[in-house]
């Protein structure tokens, strides 16, 4: 792993160069170095997911949907207020996809 001398970002290997995606800096690779590429690195690619895929990966719980009355919802937590306050729980109905939140009061 190499880091950019200009901005400190991690650099990517391209042919005989290290290239920084952040600032565009290019540095030649050391011909004496023994670079090891794992199978994960060799096969890495961007996988696009749809919104439905993200939601189906969320855990489910018992929660009453205010729109359709269904009793199951997917949920996640997100910090939307100050760091010293608790996270907000978001629910997505498994039937109608209605989204609502629950704050700690």
Three-state DSSP state, 60: strand
- Return the pLDDT at 72: 94
Nearest CA to 105 among 91, 94, 89, 92?
89
Would you list which residues are annotated within the binding site?
Answer: 4, 7, 20, 23, 65, 68, 93, 96
Domains of the chain: residue spans and CATH: 11-42 (no CATH), 51-102 (2.20.25.10)
pTM for this structure?
Answer: 0.47
Burial grade of 91 (CB within 10 A; 0-12, 13-18, 19 or more): buried
In a 13 Å sphere around the CA of 30, the CA atoms on its Cβ side amount to: 6
Residue ranges for the known binding site for Zn(2+) are 4, 7, 20, 23, 65, 68, 93, 96
Residuewise pLDDT in 10s, the chain (105 residues): 688 888 888 888 888 888 988 888 888 887 776 666 666 655 555 555 555 555 568 899 999 999 999 999 999 988 887 888 888 899 999 999 999 988 765
């Amino acid at each position: 792993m190499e880091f950019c001398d200009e901005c400190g970002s991690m650099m990517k290997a391209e042919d005989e160069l290290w290239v920084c995606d952040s600032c565009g800096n290019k540095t030649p690779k050391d011909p004496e170095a023994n670079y090891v590429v794992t199978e994960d690195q060799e096969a890495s690619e961007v996988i696009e997911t749809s919104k439905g895929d993200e939601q189906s990966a969320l855990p489910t719980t018992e929660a009453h949907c205010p729109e359709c009355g269904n009793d199951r919802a997917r949920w996640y937590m997100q910090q939307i207020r100050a760091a010293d306050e608790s996270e907000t729980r978001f629910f997505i109905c498994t039937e109608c996809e209605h989204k609502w939140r629950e704050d700690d009061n």
